[in-house]
Amino acid sequence: MGEGEGLRAVLQGWREVEGWCTDEEGMYLYECARRLPSGSVVVEIGCWHGKSTIALALGCRESGSRVVSVDHLQGDGRVVPATGIETFSHNLVRFGVQDIVTLQVMDSQAAAERFGESHPFPSLPGLRDKGGVKVGLLYVDGSHEAEDVYGDLRAWLPHCREDAIILFHDYAAGWPGVILATGKAAAEGLIKRVQVVGDIGHFVRPGRGDRAPTEPRRVFWTILMERNLSCFAAQALVRIAGRCARDGFAYIALPYARTDDARNTACLALAKGMANDRDTLVMLDCDHEHPPDIVQRLVRHDVGVVGALYFRRSAPHDAMFFIRAEDGELQQPEEWDADTGIVAGTVVGTGAIAIQGWVFKRLMEKGFQWPFFRYTYTEEGMVQPTEDMYFGVICEEAGIPHYCDFSTVTPHLTTSHVDQKTFEAHRGEEHKVPSMEVEVEQC
């Protein structure tokens, strides 16, 4: 797979793999593994049919790391795997990650005792240091009994690097055993919670000054003043500003300007204030009645580019989200489920969009320089495409997918007149009033 292809695969055919890992969680596992230092080891406790394993392995392929997946394949007493290792192996082959994953069919705590030995683990070139093999990411998703979760953590913690990422699945779902075990470990000073993504609890080993090994992500948000502001939009933006102030998000004040100029100015502001690659810029157009928590909704996904679902102001009022089809054409969805969460595609509309700082760095590495939002014109002087389409296409060429959050909808605002056409459209064709002396066009 080429650069970026693994990311697309996670949220396309990956959904067909049986498991309890959501799109959002799969993306987070992928991103955590992708950002590991080259030569790292990921240990996964509990794999089922390999859904989370694939997400981790696709990220490891990009970072040059390996996955060790540990599962006794006996189920949990309520759910027993029907096909076991055959299905797991088939799914790994399907995604081309079989060479990245080592499966150990045994109890996780027993596996921890033997970790790093020549048997049963194969040689892992480039993964050893003076202290033996060290784990850069530990993903705990085995038995959810408090004693087992705590035992898994204590058994594997000595094998983890000081800056290791430690993830627990079903943390936010409220499984008592997971909550009790992580709470006990945190009280003992073994781990410290960083954040929660989906049902995954992200922890680290407390470091110097009890700080997380990475700086927290900063969020910048702005409103593009490219056209007149309606009272509906104004009221919505007041509510948004209150929530962003509460969460410490920085506001970028932009002057009235053409859309592409405003977006590029916001990009420069992010570049000047950015402390790390995950710092995020959220741009909101002023002709929407945005939900009051739209900034929080977008930044929670922790992906490079994600936008809210909205519709074109003019007919045919189609969704502003495009996916590259097999024939090379950009297609828009006609049906969707709000519970789907985020979906990977090619171009997402920029009416409400969140972009992480590393995206601009990747674009420049691939030869695309600022300004990243541009209008292009035909010989007749027509705009083709718009600045958001240009941004999406260069991201596609750089291997950066765009995501649409189908659970977050932001209505597009327009001006309209109520006249006879409006009346006829409301009543429907079968109740159309008779034509008067002047012929009235159909809506």
Residues 294, 399, single domain; the answer is: yes
Ramachandran category for residue 59: left, alpha or beta (phi over 0 → left; psi -120 to 50 → alpha):
alpha
Q: Are 250 and 219 in contact (CB under 8 A)?
A: yes
**Residue 136: Cβ-neighbour burial (10 angstroms; 0-12, 13-18, 19+):** buried
Number of separate helices (H) and strands (E) present in the chain: 13, 19
Residues 149, 203, single domain; the answer is: yes
Q: Is 418 domain-assigned?
A: no
**Residue 334: Cβ-neighbour burial (10 angstroms; 0-12, 13-18, 19+):** exposed
Q: Write down the pLDDT at residue 148.
A: 92
Q: Write down the pLDDT at residue 156.
A: 94
Q: Are 164 and 136 in contact (CB under 8 A)?
A: yes
C-alpha 29/C-alpha 217 separation (Å) is: 17
Q: Which of 159, 192, 210 is the last residue of a domain?
A: 210
Q: Write down the pLDDT at residue 286.
A: 87
pLDDT over 70 at 174, yes or no: no
* Model confidence pLDDT, tens digit, residues 217-265: 789 999 987 666 678 888 888 899 988 888 889 999 888 888 889 999 9
**Residue 407: Cβ-neighbour burial (10 angstroms; 0-12, 13-18, 19+):** middle
Q: Could you tell me how far CA 236 lies from the centroid of its own chain?
A: 25
Q: Which of 210, 233, 251 is the last residue of a domain?
A: 210
pLDDT over 60 at 209, yes or no: no
**Residue 216: Cβ-neighbour burial (10 angstroms; 0-12, 13-18, 19+):** middle
Q: Write down the pLDDT at residue 436.
A: 40
C-alpha 335/C-alpha 317 separation (Å) is: 13
Q: Write down the pLDDT at residue 355.
A: 95
Report the domain count for the chain.
2
Residues 377, 283, single domain; the answer is: yes
Ramachandran category for residue 75: left, alpha or beta (phi over 0 → left; psi -120 to 50 → alpha):
left
Tokens of 139: 């993903």
Neighbours of 344 (CB within 10 A): 21
CATH number of the domain at 314, please: 3.90.550.60
C-alpha 219/C-alpha 296 separation (Å) is: 9
Q: Write down the pLDDT at residue 420.
A: 66
pLDDT over 60 at 184, yes or no: yes
Q: Which residues contact 241 (CB under 8 A, 6 or more apart)?
A: 251
Q: Is 431 domain-assigned?
A: no
Q: Is 57 domain-assigned?
A: yes
Q: Is 64 domain-assigned?
A: yes
Residues 236, 184, single domain; the answer is: no
**pLDDT band, residue 168 (cuts 50/70/90):** very high
Q: Which of 169, 187, 210 is the last residue of a domain?
A: 210
Residues 80, 193, single domain; the answer is: yes
Tell me which residue of 135, 140, 178 sits closest to 158, measured CA to CA: 135
Location of structure tokens 């970026």: 4
Residues 33, 104, single domain; the answer is: yes
Q: Are 237 and 286 in contact (CB under 8 A)?
A: yes
Location of structure tokens 């024939």: 327
pLDDT over 80 at 360, yes or no: yes
Q: Write down the pLDDT at residue 418.
A: 59
* Residue range of the domain that includes 375: 219-409
**pLDDT band, residue 101 (cuts 50/70/90):** very high
Residues 227, 185, single domain; the answer is: no
* Model confidence pLDDT, tens digit, residues 378-433: 777 666 668 888 999 999 998 888 999 888 889 888 776 556 676 666 666 444 44
**pLDDT band, residue 348 (cuts 50/70/90):** very high
Residues 274, 125, single domain; the answer is: no
Q: Is 330 helix (H, G, I), strand (E, B) or coil?
A: strand
Using alpha carbons only, give the angle 202, 205, 209 rounded to the nearest 5 degrees.
Answer: 115
Question: pTM for the full model?
Answer: 0.51
**pLDDT band, residue 117 (cuts 50/70/90):** low
Amino acid at 15: R
Write the CA distances from 431 to 32, 232, 425, integer angstroms: 58, 32, 9
Tell me which residue of 331, 233, 238, 241 sits closest to 290, measured CA to CA: 233
Tell me the Cα Rg of the chain: 25
Residues 64, 157, single domain; the answer is: yes
Q: Is 439 domain-assigned?
A: no
CATH number of the domain at 193, please: 3.40.50.150
* Model confidence pLDDT, tens digit, residues 280-292: 999 999 888 899 9
Residues 187, 260, single domain; the answer is: no
Q: Where is 282: in which H helix or E strand? A: strand 280-285
Tell me which residue of 46, 19, 73 sits closest to 138, measured CA to CA: 46
Q: Is 354 domain-assigned?
A: yes
Residues 201, 233, single domain; the answer is: no
Q: Could you tell me how far CA 200 lies from the centroid of its own chain?
A: 13
Amino acid at 118: S
pLDDT over 90 at 278, yes or no: no
Tell me which residue of 428, 353, 368, 400 sits closest to 7, measured CA to CA: 400
Q: Are 182 and 168 in contact (CB under 8 A)?
A: yes
Amino acid at 226: E
Tokens of 325: 């089809």
